[in-house]
Amino acid sequence: MLPVRMVRANTLFGSGQVDAIAADCELLSVELVVVDGALSAIQQRNLEEKLGRKVIDRTGLILEIFGERAATAEGRLQVELAHLDYQQSRLVRSWTHLERQRGGFGFLGGPGETQIEADRRMIRQRMGRLRRELEQVRKTRKLHRGRREKAPWPVIALVGYTNAGKSTLFNRLTGSDVMAEDLLFATLDPTMRAIGLPGIVKAILSDTVGFISDLPTQLVAAFRATLEEVTSADLILHVRDMANTAHGAQKKQVMAVLADLGIVDLQTGESSIPILEVWNKIDLLAPEEARELYQVCHDRENAVAISAVTGEGIDMLLDRVSLMLTGEAREFELILPATDGRRIAWLHAHGEVISDEEATDRESAMRKLVVRLNPKEFGQFRSL
């Protein structure tokens, strides 16, 4: 990787560096040059002319990866919108015939719009349609989230830097076969499955798109509907790749995205949703490093060390998740008519019933229950 010594307006790199890159391309038979940064349309065109090869920047590379990974209709909509937004300023690279299309009729027709102007108009129209479709997706997701909030089951969202092992952990916990590869952005579309937890009959686990540093603004906007799934979770599992030497910087980037979603306050470090750090890939660490991580997690309530591949530490993770979800639960003494089978059955199904006995001090047949409920469950019970 060649660093930029001084930014040049026309080529980004200086002439000497461009010559060095060209020589390396010839020597190694390179077909594609990737610049780890943002290129303007002019810089990209000039570099391609001087190097005689295809040149893409960081945003272009991420868009290409996203394009290959998108599996659902929603994912393809999001990627296409981001791609069109990116292409708008780069149409000059695609056209060498910039003549105007003749407008009007016969010999007196004046000059019409250029080919570039026509293409930009078509792109704007297509982007408008995509945004309307994605807005409908956003409304549908909001509706589904509203239904889940009325349901008694807590929602757990997996977040983390790309390739941290979220989908592998998702498969381990749910028994699913979601695509989990050693690839960037293997998951683009959120997936949800039900899981059981100690003391909790059912919970919903959500796998989300991986984060990355300097995520292109086009993608942040396009995937907003998907990322908003995290905002309705009862608990966030921040999966970290502890075998990656840059895991500290990756954590900062993930927290920045959560801050952008309004979940985390970077100034105070406070979060509106509880966050449990899942220190993954300990199977790739030296034994002494793994032991050290285990010791640190033993002294912290908001971190647990695991290997999603081998299953090591998974039981501890499930216990910690269950504890965090039920940590705010408290006991309620409720007296209900013995004939109110619906609400009594609901309490047995969704709460921890400590005692259920006949209320002998009442004239009519009543049941006295002592039930342990968290605030969300108690609110749902009251709405029955």
What's the pLDDT tens digit per position in 319-373? 999 888 877 677 888 888 888 888 888 888 777 788 888 877 666 788 888 888 7
Range among 94-103, 139-148, 232-241 rated most confident:
232-241
Please say whether the beta carbons of 237 and 276 come within 8 A: yes
Residue 89 lies in a domain: no
Give pLDDT, residue 145: 63
Q: What whole-number distance in Å separates Cα of residue 255 and Cα of residue 263?
A: 9
- Where does the pLDDT of residue 94 fall: very low under 50, low under 70, confident under 90, or very high at 90 and above? very low
How would you label 172-199 residue by residue, b for 16+ Cβ within 10 Å and e otherwise? bbbeeebebeeeebbbbbbbbbebebee
Residue 289 lies in a domain: yes
> Letter for the amino acid at 10?
N
Q: What whole-number distance in Å separates Cα of residue 362 and Cα of residue 360?
A: 5
| Mean pLDDT for the stretch of residues 127-135 | 86
Structure tokens at 266: 């970077």
Could you identify the residue written with the tokens 């990787």?
Answer: 1
**Which of 51, 60, 4 is closest to 25 using CA atoms?**
51
Give pLDDT, residue 363: 67
| Same domain, yes or no: 235 and 353 | no
| Same domain, yes or no: 197 and 310 | yes
Reported as a single tens digit per residue, the pLDDT across 173-227 is 988 765 445 444 444 456 778 888 887 778 888 887 667 666 665 566 656 656 7
Domain of residue 35, residue span: 15-67
Helix (H) / strand (E) containing 355: strand 352-358
| CATH number of residue 173's parent domain | 3.40.50.300
Give pLDDT, residue 19: 92
> Letter for the amino acid at 157?
A
Higher per-residue pLDDT: 151 or 105:
151
When mean pLDDT is compared across 107-111, 295-299, 301-305, the lowest value belongs to 107-111
Q: What is the pTM of this model?
A: 0.66
| Same domain, yes or no: 178 and 317 | yes
Residue 81 lies in a domain: no
